[in-house]
Amino acid sequence: MRDPSFRGKIQTVSARATLSAAGAGENASRGQSGRKGKSRAARMFSSLRWMAILLLLLDLALRLILGLGHPLLFVRDPACGYLLAPNQNVRRYFCVNQINAYSMRSPPVRASKAPDELRVLFIGDSVTYGQTFTNQPEIFTSILARELPSHLHRPVEALNASAGGWAVGNEVGYLRSRGTFQSDVVVLVLNSDDLTQAFNDSVAGAVPQLPDRDPWCALAEVWARFVSPALHRINVADRGSTAAPPPQDVQPVSVTIAQLDEARLLADQNHARLLIIYSPMLGADGNLMPDPHGGFSALKQWGRRAGVPILDLTAAYSAASTKVVLRDAAHLTPRGHRVVATSFEQWSELARYIR
């Protein structure tokens, strides 16, 4: 007969062994769970690290290839509302944008021009500026700077004072506050809606299309300039660049004519000749709108009365095909800039400046 105490000892040892095995299993389970947690955290950290690297590479590519993250900057101005910040040299969308000390898309301007030099000051909006994605050598003012000397047989300097969204009131404000820069000729470049567009009071730094500082990264510009406006259906097009401007941006043609009278007076006071280039816009049907508001008829009447010649580009655009000349309702393609330059060079009004 077995000793009862011995049987108890066996049971105790067995219970301890069971408890020990259970504890070992629990510890092993905890160890596996801990390792799984650490592995999951490591994978998450690795994914975040690679995502950060990819975003950094994408931002770098947007900067180096497209020039995003370094937009053209604007400053507020009491006379013309806003204008390009001076002394910028920006490369965006593979295109050069060189802005001189007077906020012109032109090379530096000498303080005084040579006695035999013809200086032509062009003033306008984004049609004259050429938009950021038109290379500076391809805009019509740059073409004229290169080619007019051989046409007129004398030195010629073509200045481009312009900003996207400017109305005639903004342009006259520039002329009033900056003068004519000793120019012999001042040329206002107008499109169809400029004749009824009110002074553009947009504030630099307050709207996406007029940044006053660089964004902190290229991706931030993509979001603020393109993605966010698209999501919120915000129109970031320049005023005056669409075929149907909102009512608050419209003024009577008579107000525009009064502003043109001031421009002519300012040119006369500075011994300059005022000329006008008229660039018609496309309508919703894809056809040119030579006189959508009756403004061009009023402009021609004013031109005859004030003795201001007007170069109407309607026929030149139609002859070259509007699909080739215009990239949208108002803005010129590089071919369109070529058409404008050629039309200006062949304009009989220039004959008076040949020596």
The pLDDT, as a whole number, for residue 51 is 84
For residue 245, is pLDDT > 70? no
In a domain, 4, yes or no: no
- Which of 46-55, 188-197, 296-305 comes out lowest in average pLDDT? 46-55
In a domain, 184, yes or no: yes
For residue 324, is pLDDT > 60? yes
Closest CA to 243 of 290, 195, 193: 193
What values do phi and psi take at 274, rounded to 5? -95, 130
- Which of 86-100, 124-138, 230-244 comes out lowest in average pLDDT? 230-244
pLDDT digits (tens, 9 = 90+) for 151-173: 999 999 999 999 999 999 999 99
Fill in the DSSP letter of residue 271. T
Q: What is the count of structural domains for the chain?
A: 1
Give the CATH number of the domain where residue 272 resides.
3.40.50.1110
319: its two tokens? 């002859």
**Inter-residue contact 92 to 132 (CB < 8 Å):** yes
The pLDDT, as a whole number, for residue 175 is 97
pTM of the model as a whole: 0.83
CA distances from 209 to 28, 193, 242, 247, 347 (A): 62, 19, 15, 20, 35
In a domain, 93, yes or no: no
pLDDT digits (tens, 9 = 90+) for 9-31: 555 545 555 545 555 555 555 55
**Inter-residue contact 332 to 323 (CB < 8 Å):** no
The band of 180, judged by pLDDT with boundaries at 50, 70 and 90, is: very high
In a domain, 139, yes or no: yes
Closest CA to 141 of 112, 103, 106, 184: 106
d(CA 96, CA 108): 15
pLDDT digits (tens, 9 = 90+) for 270-320: 999 999 999 999 887 888 887 877 899 999 999 999 999 999 999 999 999
What values do phi and psi take at 92, rounded to 5? -135, 140
For residue 35, is pLDDT > 70? no
Q: How far is CA 232 from the centre of its chain?
A: 20
Closest CA to 191 of 90, 293, 107, 267: 293
Residue 125 belongs to domain spanning: 101-208+226-353
